[in-house]
Amino acid sequence: MSITLEKLTKRYGPTLAVDGLDLAVRPGRVTGFLGPNGAGKSTTMRMVLGLDRPTSGRALVGGRAYDSYKWPLREMGALLEAKAVHPGRTGRNHLLAMARSNAVPDRRVDEVLAVVGLTDVARRRSGTHSLGMGQRLGIAGALLADPPVLMLDEPVNGLDPDGVRWIRGLLRDLAAEGRTVFVSSHLLSEMQMTADHLVVIGHGKLLADAPMTEIMGGHATLEDAYYELTGSAA
């Protein structure tokens, strides 16, 4: 199952935030989504989820609009804002509510809490969570319904070095299972070790959609290749 963008465009008044994006994010590989601040990455992801309406064009998950699915979490899990959780609700209860809204068995909640390493703090109120714990809870929510597609916006934010290593392995394992993994990050060194394929945008336009090896060319680091492509540091 792929994420497909067809002439996807978003305007906010006179500002063209996303400019006619055409691309397909395919299964079986980690696709990194890169671009300077304000390039349109988060807006693009919000349109994939149906949180923002395109000015024109469309974003599809498995050939359909994401919000047209009866149980959308079973089709794609997403992390956009890890702290978008009621601070008085425990992590476990937050996931239980998500599970029941999409007919996911309760036992799956404890399974994903174990995967992300939050079993011991699952009954703590989310308002007491560190940024890293909040990220892990958000990732647990994305994994909850065992979907074939994952879309994660800056998932390494707030994670310590062990956490960064863990998320790197998790993303690669999910792609190896044949899932579609679409992940944005400003940590270019981490993307160089994690992604198989890169999509790069700037000022809302597609700058590159190619395998990591092609983007790197003769450069020693992704940072050098990225700067040459965008004219901007990450």
The strand pairing partners of 209, in sequence order, are 199
Predicted pLDDT of residue 234: 61
Show the low-confidence residues of the chain (pLDDT under 70). 82, 233-234
Q: What is the structure's pLDDT at 197?
A: 98
The domains of the chain, with CATH numbers, are 1-75+152-234 (3.40.50.300), 81-146 (no CATH)
CA 233 – CA 224 distance, rounded (Å): 9
Query: What are the pLDDT digits (tens) for 163-203?
Result: 999 999 999 999 999 999 999 998 899 999 999 999 999 99
The Cα 181–Cα 64 span in angstroms is: 18
Q: What is the pLDDT of residue 137?
A: 94
* Closest of 166, 161, 108 to residue 136, by C-alpha: 166
User: Do residues 41 and 184 make contact, with C-beta atoms less than 8 angstroms apart?
Assistant: yes
Q: How far apart are CA 33 and CA 42, in angstroms?
A: 10
Please tell me the predicted confidence (pLDDT) of residue 170. Answer: 96
Say how far apart CA 67 and CA 59 lie, in whole Å: 11
Query: For residues 169 and 162, what is the distance between their CA atoms, to the nearest angstrom?
Result: 11
Q: Nearest CA to 199 among 48, 24, 45?
A: 24
Measure the CA–CA gap between 45 and 31, rounded to whole angstroms: 13
Instruction: Please tell me the pTM assigned to this model.
Output: 0.93
* pLDDT one-digit tens code per residue, 131-140: 888 899 999 9
Find residue 32's DSSP bridge partners: 183, 198
